[in-house]
Amino acid sequence: PVDATASATGVAVALHGVTKRFPGPKGAEAVTAVDAIDLDIADGEFFSLLGPSGCGKTTTLRMIAGFEYPTAGSIRIFGDEVGLLPPNRRPVNTVFQSYALFPHLSVAQNIAFGLEMQKVDKREVRQRVAEVIELVQLQGRESRRPKQLSGGQQQRVALARALVNHPKVLLLDEPLGALDLKLRQAMQLELKQLQERVGITFVYVTHDQEEALTMSDRIAVMDGGRLLQVGAPTEIYDRPRTRFVADFIGDTNLMPATVVDTDTVRLVDGTPVRVASGRPEGATCTLAIRPEQIGLRSPEHDRDPALDAVHGRVQRVTFLGNATSYEVVADGDADLHVRVRQGNAPGIEHFAVGDRVRVRWLPASATVLED
Ligand code: ATP
């Protein structure tokens, strides 16, 4: 319900200078798992922390949850400092990859458990349990035991158990990690729709870039305890700022270049390329272009002044069903990966190994990376 960068509705989670250091094993240096991060997550956002194993995403989530306390910095949830409060005194709930359901309790009992511990009135418990069962679409399965449910249904019980507490923020730590690919993809859509229905802020940890791109309003890409880039999925995908982000999110072509002026760089073979360089003249940089942003043409084809291009030779052709993947060695020696739609749609040419080609793209689809 909230647009990608909206802050008009307020900030749900604010991290300022948050650092977490763990003592190293005997005598070894301390590990800085999270390194002075600043981050505002808007109310109602589906926000993902994305990065490779060990980047600090889980530790960040656990600090928001209250399972870890920051070594330094402040954590606010809807304006209240919570950095040193225990989990049960924060308006959040966490869903883990291991659903941690009680095997001897029914679906309804699993969901009701937390409320009963808090001595919530029996009628209210029944009503709230029924509400969330409907929300996660488990009607008719209230009296089953967890082992009588599929993996996806168990995950929904875990979600219902968290949502029944009416958290202001739901924290999810790789909640779909245990599911097979098909089910995971179905659950991604379901989770996104669920988040839209309940309208609360979701903070989602994943190492799966596709998952993050599919579900999130915004993504923070992490590495080495730092936030490398925060933005909407299209922003992160189309305008990666660093080589790490470009590589981690999808496939990308990298070409070494030298800055000519604010909107031109020159490739190794001398070809000028139009792109916002953001660097002083003469600086070396890396030009990045996604494989699907590139088109191939025969060299004798009319030159289109609206496009930038290099020449090269086709090295390998791979049929992918709905697309064809080409590896092209450019004259400047860069290996380029090009993905072209399959079929006879107008404007699509197909090539064979050894063919000379013009490799071309719209200037707006190229980016200069910070090294
Ligand atoms: P994964 O996806 O593998 O869980 P992650 O990106 O979530 O990785 P974290 O679990 O946050 O990363 O870990 C970040 C760093 O902190 C790692 O180097 C990890 O070994 C270290 N670390 C995490 N928890 C502890 C702990 N309790 N004691 C010591 N070191 C820890």
CATH number reported for the structural domain that contains residue 37 in this entry: 3.40.50.300
Q: Are residues 203 and 70 in the same domain?
A: yes
User: Among residues 126, 120, 198, 185, which one has the least CA distance to residue 159?
Assistant: 198
Residues 226 and 321 in one domain: no
Tell the burial category of 21 from Cβ atoms under 10 Å away from its Cβ (0-12, 13-18, 19+). Answer: middle
Q: Which of 244, 265, 292 is the last residue of a domain?
A: 244
Give the model's pLDDT for residue 4: 42
Nearest CA to ligand 1 atom 19: 54
Position 58 in a domain: yes
Percent of the chain with pLDDT over 90: 68
pLDDT given for residue 3 in this prediction: 42
Decide if the complex's ipTM is over 0.90: yes
Please tell me whether residues 234 and 314 are part of one structural domain.
Answer: no
User: pLDDT, tens digit, for every residue of 101-111?
Assistant: 899 999 999 99
- Residue 1: per-residue pLDDT: 39
Expressed as residue numbers, the domain containing 261 is 251-369
Q: What ligand 1 atom has the least distance to the C-alpha of 34? A: 14
When the pLDDT of each residue in the chain is averaged and rounded to a whole number, the result is 90
Question: Are both 221 and 259 inside the same structural domain?
Answer: no
Pocket of ligand 1 (CB under 6 A): 22, 31, 33, 51, 53-59, 207
Average pLDDT of the residues in 137-166: 90
Residues 320 and 274 in one domain: yes
Output the residue whose Cα is nearest ligand 1's atom 16: 33
Which ligand 1 atom lies nearest to the CA of residue 55? 6
| Residue of 32, 58, 203 best suited for mutating to test ligand 1, as the one with most atoms within 8 Å of CB | 58
Q: What is the residue with the minimal CA distance to atom 24 of ligand 1?
A: 59
Q: Based on the domain organization, do 318 and 350 belong to the same domain? A: yes
Mean pLDDT across 115-135: 92
Residue 117 lies in a domain: no
Distance, CA 312 to ligand 1 centroid (Å)? Answer: 44
Whether the pLDDT of residue 9 is over 60: the answer is no
Looking at 195, 211, 244, the residue that finishes a domain is 244
Q: What is the pLDDT of residue 314?
A: 96
CA of 251 to the centre of ligand 1 (A): 26
For 177-222, what is each residue's pLDDT tens digit?
878 888 888 889 888 998 998 899 999 999 999 999 999 999 999 9
CA distance to 140, 165, 229, 247, per residue, from 242 (Å)? 50, 40, 8, 9
User: How many structural domains are present in the chain?
Assistant: 2
Q: Assess whether 261 and 349 both reside in one domain.
A: yes
Residues 270 and 355 both lie in one domain = yes
Examine the domain organization and report whether 69 and 202 are in the same domain. yes
Does 35 map to a domain? yes
Q: How far is the CA of 174 from the centre of ligand 1 (A)?
A: 14
For residues 233 and 243, what is the distance between their CA atoms, to the nearest angstrom? Answer: 17
Res. 334 pLDDT band, cuts 50 70 90: confident
Task: Enumerate residues 6+ apart whose C-beta is below 8 A from 287.
Answer: 254, 255, 256, 257, 265, 267, 273, 275, 366, 367, 368, 369
Q: Is the pLDDT reported for residue 5 higher than 60?
A: no
| CA 58 / ligand 1 centre spacing (Å) | 7
Per-residue model confidence as pLDDT tens digits over 36-80: 999 999 999 999 999 999 999 999 999 999 999 999 999 999 999
* Atom from ligand 1 closest to the CA of residue 52: 6
pLDDT band per the 50, 70, 90 thresholds, residue 274: very high
Nearest atom (ligand 1) to Cα of 62: 11
Q: Is the pLDDT of residue 370 over 70?
A: yes
What percent of the chain shows pLDDT beyond 70?
97
Is 97 contained in some domain?
no
- Looking at the fold, whether 239 and 208 belong to one and the same domain comes out as yes
Domain assignment present for residue 142? The answer is no
Q: How much is the pLDDT for 371?
A: 66
Residues 308 and 237 in one domain: no
pLDDT of residue 113: 93
Where does a domain end: 221, 244, 267? 244
| Domain co-membership, 237 together with 273 | no
For the domain that residue 298 is a member of, what is the CATH number?
2.40.50.100
